[in-house]
């Protein structure tokens, strides 16, 4: 029987990439074959992102363009957009798609057959692993809990098992993701239990484990001591603070204030000394945000000495509670506030990059040519924190010692460290 060639276009955040990976793993390889371009495919699946209006629009544009370009191929419109708006509504509005499915729940495609993990991750020496779906948070601007539901944590043994399988096929870095990583285990144990998961990670061998999206509410000094003690969990802290203004944080219903954020940053420095990297994300343009609130955010970024900062503009979603809040901020003002935060973010990142000059790091190589390579040191998460560009003969997937010699914005530049040969003669 001829196999159906299937191609998945993934949009949105790393969580969605994980869903595509899971989809690949459950694919019935007796009936389907994965291909890596839409030209080769019989069936094109668009794994959409429905987080904010811009993401929905991008999802529709990509899917419609693919259908227009390949009218004879089956197009499956899946992912978050049908989950958020309902399958029937999307089907009635967009009859050009052959199938509309919530998530990637495609009947007759999944089976128990696990062909290989390699279909999705072999091109990278790193992989994302989802530790939970859904969220119990009630941030006023967010619609995720409304369509992904409440927190459903994966048991620690499943997560450890998956990390070990990935390690066996050559993965060197695992990035644990969820909507709210610090809340892991609340549904299983009646309280946030990230400490338990960190302890379980002692049974893994992968050299680098990185945690993303840890809300400051869940970070305690005790948790940080376990974090350090496990060893393979990188001292990389992705703490999405969103704002430095207590008024805005309260309207956002984030569950912490500025003082608590600073306290958490202090704990990190106390436990890890200088040996840590801090990342955060900021939202500007929340209803009612004033220039002085923005200034409070800039002050927090500087006072907290974040190394990497992502910034995005508030998006007014009808289903979100913040939709009712006034006054709305003019889109042009949101753009100019974004630029102000980006400017400070660039300065902070450059200051961090400068501090790496002259130092030696382990570097995970992602791509190489004859004498050059691109990789990352542990303070750089994939796709968001820049890269290391080096000279030396190495292969993708290798972990090598490198020396940073100079920097450019978003780039650490250097070389593979050559082992010094000592001689008595
Ligand atoms: S923590 Fe807040 S922003 Fe993040 S997914 Fe949950 S509700 Fe949304």
Distance (Å, whole) CA 277 – CA 250: 27
Provide the terminal-to-terminal Cα distance of the chain, rounded to the nearest Å.
70
Strands (E), 36-181: 43-48, 74-79, 99-100, 126-130, 132-133, 152-153, 173-177
139 lines ligand 1 (CB under 6 A): yes
CB contact set of 143 (below 8 Å; sequence gap of 6+): 50, 51, 84, 317, 319, 320
Protein residue whose Cα sits closest to atom 2 of ligand 1: 139
Bridge partners of 368, per DSSP, are: 373
Asked whether the beta carbons of 81 and 42 are under 8 A apart, the reply is no
183 lines ligand 1 (CB under 6 A): no
Distance (Å, whole) CA 272 – CA 77: 45
CB contact set of 52 (below 8 Å; sequence gap of 6+): 315, 317
* Residue 252: cis peptide before it, omega within 30 degrees of 0: no
Mean pLDDT of 171-177: 94
Residue 423's pLDDT band (cuts 50, 70, 90): very low
177 lines ligand 1 (CB under 6 A): no
CA of 179 to the centre of ligand 1 (A): 6
CA of 343 to the centre of ligand 1 (A): 26
C-alpha of 304 from chain center:
22
Residue-wise pLDDT tens digits, 270-300: 999 989 999 999 999 999 999 999 999 999 9
CA of 180 to the centre of ligand 1 (A): 6
Instruction: Indicate the domain borders of the chain.
Output: 4-100, 121-354, 360-416
Residue-wise pLDDT tens digits, 8-33: 999 988 888 888 887 887 777 778 88
Distance (Å, whole) CA 155 – CA 194: 11
Residue-wise pLDDT tens digits, 116-166: 333 333 446 998 899 999 999 999 999 989 888 999 999 999 999 999 999
List alpha helices for 149-220, DSSP H.
Answer: 156-168, 186-189, 194-200
329 lines ligand 1 (CB under 6 A): no
Q: What is the pTM of this model?
A: 0.86
Residue-wise pLDDT tens digits, 97-122: 888 888 876 654 443 333 333 333 34
360-416 is classed CATH 3.40.50.2020: no
The correct CATH number of 121-354 out of 3.80.30.20, 3.40.190.80, 1.10.3720.10, 3.30.1330.10 is 3.80.30.20
CATH architecture of the domain with residue range 4-100: 3-Layer(aba) Sandwich (3.40)
Q: What angle do CA 209, 210, 211 make, to 5 degrees?
A: 125
Protein residue whose Cα sits closest to atom 1 of ligand 1: 137
CA of 276 to the centre of ligand 1 (A): 25
CA of 254 to the centre of ligand 1 (A): 8
Q: What is the DSSP letter of 342?
A: H
C-alpha of 87 from chain center:
26
**Of residues 85 and 305, more confidently modeled:** 305
CB burial of 78-88 (b: ≥16 within 10 Å; e: otherwise) equals bbbbbbbbebe
Residue 176's pLDDT band (cuts 50, 70, 90): very high
H or E segment and range at residue 149: none
240 lines ligand 1 (CB under 6 A): no
């Amino acid at each position: 029987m001829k196999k159906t060639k299937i191609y998945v276009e993934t949009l949105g955040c790393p969580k969605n990439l994980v869903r595509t990976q899971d989809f690949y793993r459950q694919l019935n390889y007796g009936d389907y074959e994965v291909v890596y371009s839409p030209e080769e495919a019989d069936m094109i699946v668009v794994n959409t992102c429905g987080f904010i209006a811009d993401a929905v629009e991008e999802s529709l544009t990509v899917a419609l363009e693919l259908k227009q370009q390949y009218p004879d191929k089956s197009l499956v419109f899946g992912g978050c957009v049908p989950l958020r708006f309902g399958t029937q509504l999307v089907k009635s509005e967009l009859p050009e798609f052959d199938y509309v499915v919530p998530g990637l729940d495609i009947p007759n495609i999944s089976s128990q057959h696990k062909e290989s993990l390699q279909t999705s991750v072999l091109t990278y020496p790193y992989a994302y692993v989802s530790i939970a779906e859904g969220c119990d948070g009630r941030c006023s601007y967010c619609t995720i809990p409304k369509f992904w539901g409440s927190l459903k944590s994966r048991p620690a043994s499943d997560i450890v098992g998956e990390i070990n399988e990935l390690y066996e096929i050559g993965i060197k870095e695992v990035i644990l993701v969820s909507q709210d990583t610090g809340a892991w285990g609340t549904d299983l144990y009646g309280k946030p239990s990230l400490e338990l998961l960190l302890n379980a990670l002692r049974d893994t061998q992968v050299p680098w484990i990185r945690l993303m999206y840890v809300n400051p509410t869940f970070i305690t000094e005790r948790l940080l001591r376990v974090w350090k003690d496990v060893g393979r969990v990188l001292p990389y802290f992705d703490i999405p603070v969103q704002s430095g203004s207590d008024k805005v944080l309260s309207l956002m219903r984030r569950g912490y204030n500025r003082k608590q954020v600073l306290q958490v940053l202090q704990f990190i420095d106390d436990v890890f000394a200088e040996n840590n990297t801090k990342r955060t994300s900021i939202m500007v343009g929340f209803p009612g945000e004033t220039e002085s609130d923005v200034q409070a955010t800039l002050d927090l970024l500087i006072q907290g000495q974040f190394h990497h900062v992502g910034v995005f503009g508030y998006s007014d979603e009808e289903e979100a509670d913040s939709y009712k809040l006034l006054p709305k901020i003019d889109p042009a003002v949101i753009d100019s506030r974004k630029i102000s935060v980006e400017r400070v973010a660039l300065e902070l990142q450059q200051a961090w990059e400068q501090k790496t000059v002259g130092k030696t790091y382990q570097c995970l190589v992602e791509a190489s040519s004859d004498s050059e390579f691109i990789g990352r040191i542990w303070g750089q998460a994939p796709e968001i924190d820049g890269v290391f560009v080096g000279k030396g003969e190495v292969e993708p997937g290798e972990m090598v010692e490198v020396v940073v010699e100079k920097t450019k914005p978003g780039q650490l530049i250097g070389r593979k460290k050559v082992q010094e040969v000592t001689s008595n003669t």
